[in-house]
Amino acid sequence: MEANRILSGQKTTIFTVMSALAVEHGAINLGQGFPDGEGPEDLRAAAAGYIMSGPNQYPPMAGMPALRQAVAQHDRRFYGIDADWQTEILVTSGATEALTASFMGLLNPGDDVVLIEPVYDSYRPIIETMGAQVRTVRLEPPQWSLPIDDLAAAFSSKTKLLVLNTPLNPIGKVFSRQELQVIAELVVENDAYVICDEVYEHLVFQGHQHIPIMTLPGMDDRCARIGSAGKTFSVTGWKVGYITARPDMLTAIAKAHQFITFTTPPALQLAVADGLAKDDRYYQDLACSL
């Protein structure tokens, strides 16, 4: 049998390789995005309680109302984003599923997608499996500044999406407001859209500020903003993600989501909803704990 040509040609993800080597050699693992601890005790206790009390059957495809409301409140609280929880929030089984559903729902064969390197390794194979082409723009050390001319040259009449990961995995770069403005202008000029991978939004050191590009003028209807409970609450194995986007974009993404995982465990969703309501001190302490 001939397997999918794109996926069968992929090597084992570097995260799997490095984590296995860390275990084999008893090394401290700085190669994969998970912490040493098990996450906040109150969050884990809440999840256990919800498992025992229910519900434990299929939740709504778009996500538990409590979590969708909590995500909308979180976005408003931290960034002033005004999202309708019923039509503009989607819960996914982790941020990578959110990315996959976004690419599946929005891309057509022959579309171009702009990636900014260094880059999270799942983007390219998912995009190429959709029949789209990747165009890359590379940041160079030590400043990792955005090369504006290279970025402009990466756009064309075929450009459908730009993927913006900020803070950027693996180098930790936080894009400045000026850089975001340049990106936004090019996106609007080329009638493109942005997949905003913002899973490390609360892991920002003092002196830097995370700014969702969705908050810039003219960008709220061109962005799908992805967050991750796994990263925010150090429970990466829970695989709870969420997307904020205007209805036109989110409807297309949800149609892909319904054929990937369809739902995410309801008890974990409810616990994450509780977690998102934590006070400011929790979020302020996240970066300090690194």
The model's pLDDT over 88-100, given as tens digits with 9 standing for 90+, comes to: 999 999 999 999 9
The pLDDT value given to residue 15: 73
In this structure, is residue 8 part of a structural domain? no
Beta bridge partners of 116: 137
In this structure, is residue 245 part of a structural domain? yes
In this structure, is residue 160 part of a structural domain? yes
Q: Is the pLDDT of residue 34 over 70?
A: no
Q: Is the pLDDT of residue 290 over 80?
A: no
Single-letter code of the amino acid located at 266: P
Q: Is the pLDDT of residue 252 over 90?
A: yes
Single-letter code of the amino acid located at 170: P
Domain span including residue 238: 63-288
The model's pLDDT over 193-244, given as tens digits with 9 standing for 90+, comes to: 999 999 999 999 888 999 999 999 999 999 999 999 999 999 999 999 999 9
What pTM did the predictor assign? 0.93
In this structure, is residue 6 part of a structural domain? no
Q: How many domains does the chain have?
A: 1
In this structure, is residue 46 part of a structural domain? no
In this structure, is residue 233 part of a structural domain? yes
In this structure, is residue 28 part of a structural domain? no
Domain containing 194 — which CATH number? 3.40.640.10
Starting at the earlier edge strand, list the strands of the sheet with 159-165.
89-92, 241-245, 223-228, 193-197, 159-165, 112-117, 133-138
Q: Is the pLDDT of residue 69 over 90?
A: yes
In this structure, is residue 252 part of a structural domain? yes
The model's pLDDT over 112-149, given as tens digits with 9 standing for 90+, comes to: 999 999 999 999 999 999 999 999 999 999 999 999 99
